[in-house]
Structures are given as C-alpha cells and as structure tokens.
Amino acid sequence: MDLSQTTATDLLNAMSTGQASAVELMRATLDRIASVNGPLNAIVALRDPDELMAEARVLDDGPVTGPLHGLPIAVKDLVNVAGMVTSQGSPIFQDNIAKKDDLIATRMRAAGAILIGKTNTPEFGLGSHTFNPVHGATCNAYDPTRTCGGSSGGAAVALAAGMVALADGSDMMGSLRNPAAWNNVYGFRPSWGRVPPEPVGDGYLHQLSTLGPMARRPEDLGVFLDVISGPDPRQPHAVPSPAVSPVSTADLKGMRIGWLDDWGGAYPFEDGIRDLCQNALSVFTQLGARVEAVAPPIEAERIWDSWATLRSWSVAANLAPLAEQRAALKDTAQWELDRGLALTAMEVHHASVARTEWFRRAAEVFNDYDALILPSTQVWPFEIETPYPTEIAGNSMDTYHRWMQVMVPVSLIGLPCLSVPVGFGAKGLPMGMQIFGPRGSDARILSIGAAYHAATGWPQNYPARQ
C-alpha cells in the first residue's frame, strides 16, 4: 500500500483492521513531507517529528478515539492550534503561538486526528494565490512555476502531493474550490452555518465565510465534514447537521443538471476552460442525467456589487483592530479595510437586499434542477510571481479579486458546493468545475460528486508526482 496516495477512508480502514498502524502512517507521512515539501512549500510550522511519532504510538496502544483515529492532518494557518504558531501569513503574527485550539481543531483532535503542522495561506487568507512574507509562496503541485491558488493553497498541494490524505480549509470567495481545481483534488464548501466558525466577535451579521474539507475523493470529504459539523451552543445561527457519511453514490438517471456556463457572457474565461468543463458534463449525460443550459437567473453585476460590499464590510470588521498597523498590511488588505470602514449602514443594507433577491431567484431555479454547474475558475494557474490577474481574454479586471467572480454566486448566499476535477489543459495544468445545490443539500451534492468520481477518478489516475 502506497500510503502517500491512499485515500483517507482506505487509510482509516487499514488502521482499524490492523493492516497499518498510526506509527507506520506517521512515518510514511514524515518521509513524504521530507521528500517533496521543500520545493512545494505547502506545509509550514511542522511539529517535531519525535513528538509526532510518540503521539502516534500512544494512539496505537490505546482505544480508538474517533473517526479520524491516527490520521495526520496539517491545519490551515488561519486556525489556532495550541502550542503552534498561527501567523495568518502576516509579519504582525509571525511569532504568535496559540494558547488554545480553535473549535475546528478541538473537533479534529477529539476525532483522533494528529495535528502535525500548518498549511500555507495568503496573508489573512485574502486573495486566491498562496504567498506571504512569512512563509513565502506555495507552488502548484503540477507545475512549480505556477500558483496553487488559495487561500487553502497549502492544503490543496499537500493533498495532491500525497503529504496528507485529508485537509481542512476555509472558503469566503472560493478558497476551498479554486485551489482544489488547480491541484486536481476535491474541495467542498458546506451550506453556510453547518460548520460553525470560532465563537468570537459578532455571531449574527456576517454570513460569507465557512470552514470545510478537502480530499482526494468525495467519500473522504463526508468523513471529515461530519467531524467538523454540528451546532455550537455559543453561536446563534445553529444549523442541524445530519450525518453525510458514508457518502452514497447517487443514481443520476433522471436527474436534471443545469449548466450556467459563462453566465450569459458576463464572465470572461481563458481559452480551453469552458471546453474542458463542457466535456466533463458528458459524464453526467453518460450516467443518465439530463444536462441543460440555464439562462442567468439574475444579473451578474447585481450579484457582484452585493458581494463586493458585504465582503469589504466583513474583512474590515476583522482587520479593524489592526488599523493602527495599516502600513504592515499588504495592499489588498489595506484596500479592503479602507473600503469597508467607509461603508454606510444603508449601503450594507441594500447589498443584503440584493443578496436576498438572488437567494430567492436561486430557490426558484432549484425547483427545476437537482444541481447547477459552473467552472471553478476563469483563468489557468498563472505565474507564481504574479500577485493576481489584471485581465482575462482582453477584459480588464477592476479589483484584485474580480478574476474570481465565477465563485461569487455560490459564496454570496451560502450554498453547498463541490469543486470536482475535470482534467488538464494543453499545458498540463489541472482545472475543475463547481457542482452546487440549495441550502442543506450537502449530502446530495456529495453523492452526485461520488458518482462523478466513480466514473472519472482524476486524482487517482493523474496524481501529482514530485
């Protein structure tokens, strides 16, 4: 068994049946990290290997502690893990050692996971390109001269390169989906509220960002999602979270799938992306689904204006305590901070009205379709030295994040969404597409993804080899 490419579910089964041990898996994990992480720079702040091996021995010698018993996981460097540095990619916090676990880390530990280190992220998680002044840039798992995406870029690369079998991430504007697409793995954005955030600060107003899982197949996503899901009594938007694991493989016969393509021409794409996604749609047709083109349910610019306002408002709320250290923030963080602080209450209200209008329109569309599909990104992985794309197919981008606009319809209204691999372009770079449904349809979206994966198996058929 090649532990570096075995899926999480198979690893957990192997340990539960005695075919493998936590010690063997930890040794293989550390060896793999030592072999490939250097040039990729996906895992940062790795814990002491002797401590990790000792922790694995304790788990081997004791009872099964939970569904992730003995599985090594590197946690995104926006999450506090007791005794480990949480830099958030910022020089302001590069020596910040967490005193306690965040809620998601607590749940992973309780499930038996061994938290081995951190995965790299952009500064404060802003921007879908993983680079920062603390840890540097993370390379694409398939081309070290290209970006891996972000902000869960380190997690995606660690998965693709076989350093971990499961990873956590977070997604405000596509941070679980974009890097999954660019590294030939799966990223799942759950229904908003299913996975509770850390219970600090405001718990009522901001509904854009969520935590979620990444893996090399949908069944593994389900295992991890159940671990990190569930209401927290300290938070007001408690959402019932029925188990999704074991993820079933959906029978797609008779299902109706809607293809939103380029949103009626509103979203520009680099050559080859839409074609690759349209080719992937044929898999659904072959499995018995009916795939139909869907006209844009609402104007793309109305969604964007709502999104840009609510995002700046949310980001500024998080960065406001650092306003006096503004000069230490990267330029895009300064832009979000200044823009958010300048917003009026009525501007935020009008943005939320537009968001609500899109939610209602989407509900009407889902009366006719089991799921909708969009590409996962509008550009191919760009050169690692480029901070962000400023144009797409001759269309100028007016903000640092406009090039990710195809992610916004899902993010704005908190829908469950699975980014699935769709293959590789002419230059050998991976791509993906988004499968999404109404709030609460997490299990169904994962089961549709499982059927697609059974027919394609992109991560297993084309693993990243370093």
Q: What are the catalytic residues?
A: 76, 151, 175
Contact between residue 297 and residue 91 where contact means Cβ atoms under 8 Å apart: no
Integer Cα distance of 69 and 16 in angstroms:
9
Q: Kindly give the pairing relationship between strand 290-293 and strand 395-396.
A: unpaired
204 CB contacts (<8 Å, ≥6 apart)? Answer: 236, 237
Contact between residue 101 and residue 109 where contact means Cβ atoms under 8 Å apart: yes
Contact between residue 270 and residue 379 where contact means Cβ atoms under 8 Å apart: yes
| Rg of the chain on CA atoms, in Å | 21
Residue 112 Cα distances to 101, 108, 440, angstroms: 14, 7, 27
| Cis amide leading into 151 (omega within 30) | yes
User: Mapping DSSP to helix (H, G, I), strand (E, B) and coil, where does residue 427 land?
Assistant: coil
Q: Which two tokens stand for residue 175?
A: 């941070």
Helical (H) or strand (E) element with 74: strand 72-76
Q: Describe the chain by its helix, strand, coil percentages, rounded to 5.
A: 40, 15, 45
**H helices, E strands: number in the chain:** 14, 15
Contact between residue 16 and residue 35 where contact means Cβ atoms under 8 Å apart: no
